[in-house]
Amino acid sequence: MPGGRLITFEGIEGCGKTTQLRLLARCLQARGLPVVTTREPGGTPLGERVRDVLLDPSLAPVAVGELFLLEAARSQVVAEVVAPALSAGNFVLCDRFADSSVAYQAGARGVDRTEVERLNALACAGVVPDRTLVFDLDVELALARARHRPTTTAVNRRFEDEAISFHRAVAAAYHDLAHREPHRVVLVDARGTPDEVHARALAAVMDLLP
Ligand SMILES: Nc1ncnc2c1ncn2[C@@H]1O[C@H](COP(=O)(O)OP(=O)(O)OP(=O)(O)O)[C@@H](O)[C@H]1O
Ligand SMILES: [Mg+2]
């Protein structure tokens, strides 16, 4: 993608993605770099509505339906936010992206991986992250963090409520991704304070900075 760089933040629930995205955004801005932040599912009016549907425990889409909802939100945020911001030369930081579907819908829900990759490619329209940071944290510790988060509520906890085996399958899929694509996907040790994790995240994107 000409000009900008896309950095995506991935990992299981509560591993620190949103915290680290904010810290890296602030850090890049302090270096005078243009930064655009967004999230998935979400980032557009359509995507935010889809997000509400996806996180609502009273609605339980079948695995393929869940994938289609995510791809709808993904195609919208790519077209409306990510691709234009990259073309304009920004550092785009995205809280979850296409790899989440490889980890969740393929890795944990069992949808065929090749099909997930094909739909991801269709939704992303040629946009590929320059670096994907996977925040790597023990499942129990991450879930404890997620459950204490003030923004977790009765209507958005569908994924937090999944069994521990589900989260382990997601974590394993992320490890597999890092193994398959070591130049793009980097495991970041997410233990310790937010500042300690931030130092590791910054080191993992340093080669992308001017
Ligand atoms: N290094 C850390 N040490 C302790 N607590 C942390 C750390 N990083 C984040 N937290 C806290 O843990 C909770 C989860 O962090 P955060 O929301 O950043 O995770 P997330 O990966 O974005 O979660 P989700 O997948 O649910 O969006 C928050 O309450 C946050 O303040
Ligand atoms: Mg978050």
Q: What percent of the chain has pLDDT over 90?
A: 90
Decide whether any atom of ligand 1 lies within 6 Å of the 197 Cβ. yes
Is the beta carbon of 158 within 6 A of some atom in ligand 1?
A: no
Give the pLDDT score at 155.
78
Q: Is the pLDDT at 152 greater than 90, yes or no?
A: no
Terminal Cα-to-Cα distance of the chain (whole angstroms): 16
Q: Any idea which ligand is nearest the CA of 149?
A: 1
| Nearest alpha carbon to residue 65 among 9, 121, 73 | 73
Give the amino acid at 97.
Answer: F
What is the pTM for the complete model shown? Answer: 0.97
93 backbone φψ class: left, alpha, beta (φ>0; ψ -120 to 50):
beta
Query: Residue 91: which CATH number?
Result: 3.40.50.300
Return the half-sphere exposure (C-beta side, CA atoms, 13 A cut-off) of residue 126: 7
What mean pLDDT comes out for the span 184-189? 98
Quote the number of domains for the chain.
1
Ligand 2 centroid vs 2 CA: distance in angstroms? Answer: 28
Q: Cis bond leading into 2, ω under 30°?
A: no
Contact 186, 178 (CB under 8 A): yes
Closest C-alpha to ligand 1, atom 3: 193
Using DSSP's 3-state secondary structure scheme, residue 109 falls into coil
CA of 160 to the centre of ligand 1 (A): 13
Residue 1 has pLDDT above 60, yes or no: no
Per-residue confidence (pLDDT) for residue 3, from 0 to 100? 77
Ligand 1 atom closest to Cα of residue 191: 1
User: Which range marks the domain in which residue 193 is found?
Assistant: 5-208
Residue 156 Cβ contacting ligand 1 at under 6 Å: no
Q: Name the H helices within the chain.
A: 17-30, 45-55, 63-77, 83-87, 98-101, 113-124, 139-148, 164-180, 194-205
The band of 28, judged by pLDDT with boundaries at 50, 70 and 90, is: very high
- Asked if residue 34 has pLDDT above 80, the reply is yes
